[in-house]
Chain A
Amino acid sequence: MQSFACRPFGDAAVLVELGTTRDPELALQASSLADSLSTWLASRSLDVVSGYCSVLVRFDPLTISPEEQLRAVTDALAAYTPHLDAEAAVGGEHRSSREHRPSREHNVRVCFGGEHGVDFERTAHDLGMRESRLRDMLCGGEFRVAFLGFLAGFPYLLGLPPALNGVDRLTRPRPRVPAGSMAIAAGQCGIYPRASAGGWRLLGRTNAVLFDPSHKPATLFAPFDRIRFEPVSDLRDASVTTT
């Protein structure tokens, strides 16, 4: 049985740590663990949120003491079978949770560079590569959704080619990043569901709707989903096909 570090996070949450890095395997395991904890804890917890290598379980401390919070999470962890879930997650056959849909594949069309990806040319230049090479690297491989966070529907994507890991955040975040912007920074990749402030480098843009609260499911992406980017030259063609 694998053991996880589990500690109080203030008096209204418990943090479960699986590691300390952005290792893709840990991230998928964290999402799988978050699903399981959410199911087991049910209404005892307020919410369960996964990150790259941790899961935060939030509680209402008016109804459950910090001591009981820790015990509830510890008990739920004891019932977790990480090996099966983790292998399935990494192997790709994972059903992201009992009540959630199976993982899906998305072909995300992106309009790179120019006004739709204002940092694209600069990033290629900084990396010492041709723009076509950068585009091919982004569109050549498969990404997987590790988890959603930051903004409603924002996917943290695994699978950025290692050659792009050195791309930094902007020193000063932009006050407004357009909705649909595909961006990378510090080894991470994501797509902004709506206009927001943001400090990542903007490489391109899709016009897919990533979050629609009136739609079920509300998010286009879910943890474990697979994503491929396809370049298009007109933003009007930058849609998403999901299978």
Chain B
Amino acid sequence: MSTLHKRAVRVVDPGVLSTVQDLGRHGSGRLGVSPSGVADWYSGRAANRLVGNPDSATLIETTLTGATFALGHDAWVAVTGAAAPFAVGERVCEQWRAQRGRAGDRVVVGAARRGLRSYVAFDGGVIVPALFDSASTDVTSGFGGRILARGDELSLGATIDETSDVRIDPIAWIPETVLRTVRLASSPAVETLFGSSYVVSDRSSRQALALDGEGSLVGMRADLPSAGVSAGCVQITGDGMPIVLLCEHQTTGGYEVAAVVAYADIPLAAQLRPGERVSFAAVDVDEAGRALAQRRSALDAACRSVDGRRDGSAVLAAGFFEGAES
């Protein structure tokens, strides 16, 4: 017999942009619906695994400034992604490791020192209504999930209160990010892509990384018959500059796709912030597969075979915080 816990967290400060995300809204691409979901799948899955959730559980993605929450109930919390200060109550905590919080504790994720997006998972997962089978927030389209606002109360799903003390390898930050990338076309323009270094533009978003630099890719076609695209696609826009599609990409595009970033390195692309340098290293599909196997084994270090989604029955948290904090 399972006991339903009345569990919730309150958003004290959402920072510049904090959203509710899961592994994405797949299967509705033919309606033009973007996958959305966590921009950095490695950190998102890691945070969930650390607190004993299935990878598909709903968690919070913060941007640059971090965010602050207040626990309405004892809970496990893990913070992954960007390298950032992290505290639970009075304790300064280690990222990439589950931490126990007590009712009333503040969970503070500070401004990122490296990287852009932090992932905050609570055991039981955040409960928001699913749209097209996903709780992801599609920020661009303005539907699904939730863009967090100060004072929001988020219900958490039921938990089995069972979390082993493991760590997952953090993202390895290096001075200039090199994205392992699979070439799709062969031409002098594509050689320019692999031989150049670019700077991430502040026009970037969850939709795509926009890049600036010397390596203008002249001769690529910008008016192809629109075709399906995926996260990691390196498209060459009309001005000859590459963009790298991220999770919230449009479903189809008419720019030429020069290459696709290996799935293993999409997390690195998602963590790049404006002003940082990035370049592309050509790999074949087999090398991409080996890179992914490494990421998978890093995640599996923490995996105690968590399959299936726990029954996260929604509990409305209205008014729950009275008394939780004095």
A237 to B: closest C-beta gap in Å: 27
Cβ < 8 Å to B, chain A residues 2-28: 8-13, 15, 20-22
Q: Is the CB of B230 within 8 A of A213?
A: no
CB-based nearest A residue for B227: A51
Which residues of chain B are near A147, meaning CB under 8 Å? 30, 252
Q: When chains A and B are docked, how far (Å) is the Cα of A15 from the Cα of B289?
A: 18
Contact B251 A149 (CB under 8 A): yes
B58 at the interface (CB under 8 A from A): no
Could you tell me the distance between the alpha carbons of A45 and B163 in the complex, rounded to whole angstroms? Answer: 31
- Among A57-65, A81-89, A101-109, A125-133, the stretch in contact with B: A57-65
- Other-chain contact of A10, B141, B223, B226, B232 (Cβ < 8 Å): B232
- What chain A residues lie within 8 Å of B231 (beta carbons)? 12
Which of B230, B262, B296 meets A56, CB within 8 Å?
Answer: B230
Q: Which of A11, A50, A193 contacts B263 (CB 8 A)?
A: A11
Q: Please name all residues of chain A whose beta carbon is closer than 8 Å to the beta carbon of B20 when the two chains form the complex.
A: none
Q: Is the interface of A mostly helix, strand, loop or mixed?
A: loop
Determine whether B131 belongs to the interface, using a CB cutoff of 8 Å to chain A. yes
Give the bracket for the number of chain B residues in contact with chain A. Answer: 35 or more
Q: Is A38 an interface residue (CB 8 A)?
A: yes
Q: Give the distance in Å from the alpha carbon of A194 to the alpha carbon of B140 in the complex.
A: 11
Residues in A whose Cβ lies below 8 Å from that of B250: 149-151
- Chain A CB within 8 A of B28 CB: yes
* Docked CA distance A147–B252 (Å): 10
The residue of chain A having its C-beta at the shortest distance from the C-beta of B261 within the complex is A10
Chain B residue numbers with a CB within 8 Å of A152 are 31-34, 141, 143
Assuming A10-B288, A186-B223, is B28 touching A47 (CB within 8 A)?
A: yes
Known: A10-B230, A51-B227, A54-B228. A62 touches B296 (CB 8 A): yes
A-B Cβ contacts below 8 A, count: 147
Q: Residues of A contacting B288 with CB < 8 Å? A: 10-11, 66
1/0 contact trace for B117-144 toward A, CB 8 Å? 0000000000000011000000001111
CA distance A213 to B143 in the complex (A): 8
B181 to A: closest C-beta gap in Å: 8
Given contacts A47-B29, A151-B250, contact A9 B34 (CB under 8 A): no
Q: A148 to B26, Cβ gap below 8 A?
A: no
Taking CB atoms, residues of chain A closer than 8 Å to B226 are: 51-52, 149-150, 156, 188
CA distance A31 to B30 in the complex (A): 9
Chain A residues contacting B30 (CB-CB under 8 Å) are 31, 34, 38, 47-50, 147-148, 223
**Chain A contact residues, CB within 8 Å of chain B:** 8-13, 15, 20-22, 31, 34, 38, 46-56, 58, 61-62, 65-66, 147-154, 156, 169, 186, 188, 193-194, 211, 213-214, 218-219, 223
Give 13 A-B contacts (CB < 8 Å), ordered by A residue.
A9-B184, A10-B230, A10-B233, A12-B231, A15-B228, A31-B30, A50-B228, A51-B227, A147-B252, A148-B30, A152-B141, A193-B32, A211-B32
Q: Which residues of B contact A (CB under 8 A)?
A: 26-35, 131-132, 141-144, 182, 184, 223, 225-233, 250-253, 257, 259-263, 285-286, 288-289, 292, 296
* Shortest Cβ-Cβ A-B pairs, 5 listed: A10-B260, A56-B228, A149-B252, A49-B228, A51-B227
If A66-B288, A213-B131 are given as contacts, then 5 extra A-B residue pairs at C-beta distance below 8 Å, sorted by A number, are A11-B260, A52-B226, A58-B26, A58-B228, A151-B32
